[in-house]
A and B are shown apart, each in its own frame.
Chain A
């Protein structure tokens, strides 16, 4: 159980375009999902907390107008990178909490990640 999927796994786009990444909880409902960014051989940087039915909470330094998050249902959160630039190229990872089934409140289940390359 507690499987999180992401789509697409890899995307290449031109500078100035927008890209949408989907994160789905496949076998549980997730009122809260998280979006991270991972740089090569470095740690995960939390970008924002996505809350079902309300606005996302962004971490300091993350532009909310640049990285639009929508959590319209209990199983789906989307991250849209608007007007993408080469510096937005990165590995984006989402995670979710399965409050109904997990042992620990803070435990998160991670998606496989999306590799974004902006040309």
Chain B
């Protein structure tokens, strides 16, 4: 199975500042079709997960442009710029390049 490792586990941030979350996979997420099946999800407290980013860097419909994804191969980053109070929650990377689908352990973003 592909292991997804997220860092940091927790990220206290000041409103208006930027936070970066790293996600590393135990093997390349480039599929034989050349695509990379890496997404980022947000889970606000008491809510189900919500898709933010798909295929590394594509923002899902309705997601503010403060959220951006980057990376390639085994190293990926989610950046949240100009953090707002509504961004509090846990962020997960997830790969579906190979079954089983696997999630990172999550990064908790909280306001200082």
A and B together in one complex: no
Q: Which residues of A contact B (CB under 8 A)?
A: none
